[in-house]
Amino acid sequence: MTKKILKIKRQLLDIYQKIHELRTVEGKHTDALTNQLKKICTTAPTDISEKILLDRDISSKAAAFRKFYATYGSSSESEWSKKIFDSTDPEKELLTFPSYKRYARRVALEYYFAQSLAEKPVKKCLFIGGGPLPLTAILMHRLFNVRVDILDIDVQAVIRSKKMLRAIGLNKYVKVYQYDAYLFERYHTYDYIVMAAMVGETPKQKNILIKKIGLQIKNNAVLSVRSSCDLKKLLYTPVEQKSFDDLKMQFIWHPCSSLNTNSNIIYQKEKTYGRSR
């Protein structure tokens, strides 16, 4: 085992111990801990990442790292959402969100991937796992005039999301529904579906949902699934790189910059003559 691998392993185990000792995910100490974890995972070289992930001491703690990162992210977005809808100038407050410009670039990239495959302009989108701060949906509408529906199973996230959308005047164009994506039966009504990286805690759970969507969506509809690569798999559960029957994998995009934590897998429903919706 090289010195570089040992160094990263020690850093990760130190972070894990500190996470285990935390009583709350709020506070400057947690901010620093999260930033440290993110920096390690987004800058680790590809050639050693898999070796680190295969190490038993690290692989046994992968789920704990992901849970911590997801909980912190949700808490942070919830705070920002409240900050925005409580503001005297919600629009101005929204633009100060630290990742606003990065999200705008990601949403544009995902949309261009989808539009490059679509036969007609994408007009209706579904975002699964919008959370309390539905920035992807907001930017999708603002950048491309797309109507967006959001699904989220968390009641509080839905409440905050709706308040924020009303505050910035987008509640007529971006709708939020409290619903379990695994039970949803209207995927066939959308041209384009985006599945957040936090949806599905395990690869098996993600596969089940992707397959369900693939069975329901209409011919030529596009599904974009946010995933992870390299050591970023400790932040987000990765998605298997494969097609699901008629839902064919078209593109895989992995970030080269440490600013981006998500990969993208783009699928399209293949034409199935005689049994299309």
Alpha-carbon span 206 to 214, nearest angstrom: 12
Of residues 73, 131, 139, 142, the one with CA closest to residue 107: 139
Looking at residue 153, what is its pLDDT? 96
pLDDT digits (tens, 9 = 90+) for 127-171: 999 999 999 999 999 999 999 999 999 999 999 999 999 999 999
- Tokens of residue 77, six digits: 């977005």
Looking at residue 120, what is its pLDDT? 83
Could you tell me the residue ranges of all domains in the chain?
3-95, 100-269
The pLDDT mean for the chain works out to 92
Over range 110-121, report the average pLDDT.
89
Q: Is residue 276 over pLDDT 80? A: no
Over range 57-76, report the average pLDDT.
94
Report yes or no: 237 and 222 within 8 Å, Cβ to Cβ. Answer: no
Alpha-carbon span 122 to 192, nearest angstrom: 7
pLDDT digits (tens, 9 = 90+) for 16-64: 999 888 777 766 778 889 999 999 999 999 889 999 999 999 999 999 9
Spacing of C-alpha 105 from chain mean position: 14
Of residues 64, 102, 79, the one with CA closest to residue 261: 102
pLDDT digits (tens, 9 = 90+) for 216-267: 999 999 999 999 999 999 999 999 999 999 999 998 988 766 667 889 999 9
Q: Is residue 205 over pLDDT 50? A: yes
Count of Cβ atoms closer than 10 Å to residue 154 Cβ: 16
- Tokens of residue 212, six digits: 């369900």
Task: Tell me the CATH number for domain 100-269.
Answer: 3.40.50.150
Alpha-carbon span 194 to 252, nearest angstrom: 14
Residue type, 152: D
